[in-house]
């Protein structure tokens, strides 16, 4: 039961992140604005579209694959992405200062990393794990 709930939470989180990534692909200006970013010209739109689309889709896909295939090792890719993002945000708070609603993105990243670390310990990982695929 616990493993099923954990896998469902990972799958749903992955789906949400993939939807966010898709939103950056199709409407980068609006999504960028919700992240405090304003694109300047075609280069800015291309950067938002390419970088954020890739970031969220890769992280989301790793969560979905890890949950669906019971692959703890696939989850670690998303864990690295969100963990590094959390650390970079913490560094930014120290060097740039606090801003309104800073807790929300860091909270999402922290909860996601914790969920991933727990799941990566419970779900099988790597070539040594037996799978019934």
Distance CA 3, CA 69 (A): 13
pLDDT of the residue at 92: 97
The answer to whether the beta carbons of residues 59 and 20 sit under 8 Å apart is no
pLDDT of the residue at 2: 87
With vertex at residue 93, the alpha carbon angle to CA 88 and CA 98, rounded to the nearest 5 degrees, is: 145
User: Taking all residues of the chain, what is their mean pLDDT, rounded to a whole number?
Assistant: 92
Compute the average pLDDT of residues 6-30. Answer: 96
pLDDT of the residue at 8: 96
Compute the average pLDDT of residues 94-108. Answer: 95
The answer to whether the beta carbons of residues 74 and 131 sit under 8 Å apart is no
What's the pLDDT tens digit per position in 39-92? 999 999 999 999 999 999 999 999 999 999 998 899 999 999 999 999 999 999
pLDDT of the residue at 128: 44
Task: List b or e across 31-57, with b for residues whose CB sees 16 or more CB atoms inside 10 angstroms.
Answer: bbeeeeeebeeeeeeeebbeebbebbb
CA-wise closest residue to 78 among 15, 127, 14: 14
Compute the average pLDDT of residues 10-36. Answer: 96
pTM above 0.75, yes or no: yes
Provide the token pair at 55: 């970031």
């Amino acid at each position: 039961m616990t493993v099923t709930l954990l896998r469902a939470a990972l799958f749903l989180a992955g789906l949400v992140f993939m939807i966010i990534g898709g939103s950056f692909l199709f409407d980068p200006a609006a999504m960028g604005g919700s992240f405090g970013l304003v694109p300047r010209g075609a280069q800015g739109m291309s950067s938002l579209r390419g970088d954020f689309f890739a970031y969220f889709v890769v992280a989301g896909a790793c969560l979905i694959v890890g949950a669906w295939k019971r692959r703890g090792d696939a989850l670690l890719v998303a864990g690295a992405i969100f963990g590094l993002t959390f650390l970079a945000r913490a560094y930014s708070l120290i060097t740039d200062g606090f801003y309104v609603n800073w807790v929300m993105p860091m909270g999402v990243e922290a909860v996601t990393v914790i969920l991933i670390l727990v799941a990566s310990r419970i779900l099988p990982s790597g070539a040594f794990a037996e799978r019934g695929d």
